[in-house]
Amino acid sequence: IFPSEPADRPPPLRSGDTVIGVLHGADRRVRHHTGEEIGLLTALADLAALAVEKAGLLDRTRAEVSELERDSSRVRTSLTRMRHVSEAHGRIMNLVLAGGDLGSVAKAAADALDATVMIRDQGGRCLATAGDIPGLVEEAVAKASLDAHARRRPVLADDDTWVAPVIAGSEDLGGLVIRAAGGLTGEDERLLELAAQSVAFLLLMRRSTAVAEGPVRDELLDDLIADPPHAPQQIAQRARRLGVDLRRPHVLVLARPEGGEQGRAVVWASSYAYRLSGLKTVQGGCIVLLLPGIDASAAARAVADELSPLLGHPVSVAAAGPGQSPDGVARMHQEAGRCLDAMSALGGTGSAASVQDLGFLGLLLSDDNDVDGFVEAAIGPVLDYDAERFTDLTHTLEAYFASGGSPTNAAEALHVHPNTVSRRLERIGELLGPEWQKPGQVLEVQLALRLQRTREVLARGRATADPGRPAAGPPERSA
């Protein structure tokens, strides 16, 4: 226990002029400390203060070293990621410069980001994809796409889906939709921006190539639809040089913008035809496209679906085909033109259709008058059912229409019970679809029945006129 005199107070621990603590000395017995003991305790206090100061300095040094090590680790990680970003961007750009397509670019970006990648155009249609993105919320993606183009950087659409803008200057070329289950780091976002730039560069390159080759490709299509046609062999050689194989099935599409802005539509058509390995030209205020494929209706809808949103107003689209030779292109062009005129006359401006979509009108508009195809499309399932099961649904249909749509009167004409006619009509509905009695389809069914009956009469007439010829059934129908 220290006495109360100042000399007997505990010596302080000092670091310069700062007191950092106190050194206490005590004994179990009550006694007074001598001056020598107090001096010794003061010396020990100075040593303790120095030890405390050095220990604190050592702790601070260790903490600084640990922080430097963490900073160094972060720097090394960042450098590694930056190197990864640079290498991935280099691979993607090499694909672009080597003539790779959008699918290859999407796959390279997906591998680099360890994610699923979808490339979309400015209308939201998928151009290429690497993997599936199930459960995509289109409303959230559309909103994120607007934000991404406004901010000119990737935007998070939901928990693990990102949208990156594909832009060239102020022009919107589309976007990248990314699904990354593990999220994206800062370096991944930078790589996503670079991938979007690469896609924009590829789209611009394709557009530039299409524009550069445009006059030559336009001239080729002009020659294909010319009347009289040019030398087929020369046209085939020119097509091969442009990478167009006219021996493969192709369809012809006519697109007529109904609100002006034809210049923008022509630029789009050049890029669209080049993308699909087709041809494009402009005649009579209409864009003419010769595209690979066998489904003219699908081609017409695809053109309308992509061009109308781009222009912001309706586009009337007509198509014909397919054809498989250069000399058939002019015929398809004429059929598509008549189909477009028929659509306008019927109040179908701004819609898309093919010659086949117009039913019996298409039969009249077509140059080859494909009666077999029309009959097959209208009542083919009923004819096949009768041929396979030896039934008489076709005759029942004729009696039903002849009686003004009365099953009872049809039963009397057929000499069967009305319930039998009702069951047959139910079977016909299963074969032709639930809308077979709607006015439009009824007209086509009746016309097909008459054509089929006329062909059978003509076939029997030919057999009677030529007794040595084997008896023939109805003319063979296409399958």
- CA–CA separation, 2 and 8 (whole Å): 6
| Domain identity same for 10 and 137 | no
Residue 346 has a pLDDT of 66
Q: Does residue 118 register a pLDDT over 70?
A: yes
Report yes or no on 71 lying in a domain.
Answer: yes
pLDDT at 271: 79
User: Do 173 and 262 share a structural domain?
Assistant: no
Q: Is the pLDDT of residue 398 over 60?
A: yes
Residues 271 and 360 in one domain: yes
Say if 311 falls within a structural domain: yes
Among 151, 183, 208, the domain-final residue is 208
Rounded Cα distance, 128 and 106, in Å: 7
Q: In this predicted structure, which of 213-222, 251-260, 414-423 has the lowest mean pLDDT?
A: 213-222
- d(C-alpha 250, C-alpha 247), whole Å: 8
pLDDT (tens digit per residue) in 37-89: 778 888 888 888 888 888 888 888 888 888 888 888 877 776 776 777 777 77
pLDDT reading at 136 higher than 90: no
Query: In angstroms, rounded to a whole number, what is the distance separating the alpha carbons of residues 224 and 247?
Result: 13
Do 338 and 238 reside in the same domain of the chain?
yes
In a domain, residue 214? The reply is: no
Residue 395 · residue 453 · CB < 8 Å: no
The total domain count for the chain is: 4
370 pLDDT exceeds 60? no
Condensed to tens digits (0 to 9), the pLDDT of residues 247-281 reads: 889 999 999 888 766 788 888 888 788 778 888 88
The parent domain of residue 180 ranges over 99-208
The answer on pLDDT for 374 being more than 60 is yes
248 lies in some domain: yes
Comparing 37 with 128, the larger pLDDT belongs to: 128
Q: Is residue 348 pLDDT above 60, yes or no?
A: yes
Domain boundary among 365, 392, 421: 365
Q: Please identify, among 330, 346, 365, the residue that sits at the C-terminal boundary of a domain.
A: 365
Give pLDDT, residue 5. Answer: 41
407 and 299 co-located in one domain? no
In this structure, the answer to whether residues 251 and 351 fall within a common structural domain is: yes
Cβ contact 309:123 at 8 Å: yes
pLDDT at 473 over 50: no
Angstrom distance (rounded) from CA 385 to CA 231: 47
Both 338 and 229 in one domain: the answer is yes
Is the Cβ–Cβ distance between 171 and 146 less than 8 Å?
Answer: no
Please indicate, yes or no, whether residues 239 and 319 belong to a single structural domain of this protein.
Answer: yes
- Work out the angle at residue 268's Cα, subtended by the Cα atoms of residues 98 and 156, and round it to the nearest 5 degrees: 70
Residue 216 has pLDDT above 50, yes or no: yes
pLDDT bin (cut points 50, 70, 90) of residue 209 is: low
Residue 139: both structure tokens together = 């409303």
**262 within some domain:** yes
Within a domain: 216: no
Amino acid letter for position 57: L
CATH number of the domain encompassing residue 410: 1.10.10.2840
- Distance between CA atoms of residues 160 and 157, nearest Å: 8
Q: Tell whether 354 and 241 lie within a shared domain.
A: yes
Residue 64: inside a domain = yes
Residue among 159, 175, 170 nearest 123 (CA): 175
SS3 195: helix
Domain match, 304 and 407 both = no
Tokens of 202: 């590829």
Cα angle at 428 between 426 and 433, to 5 degrees? 95
Mean pLDDT of 96-100: 78
Q: Show the tokens assigned to 376.
A: 């097959």
Same domain flag for 260 and 335: yes
Which residue intervals of 346-370 are DSSP H helices? 360-365
Is residue 158 included in any domain, yes or no? yes
Same domain, 231 and 361: yes
Average pLDDT, the chain: 79
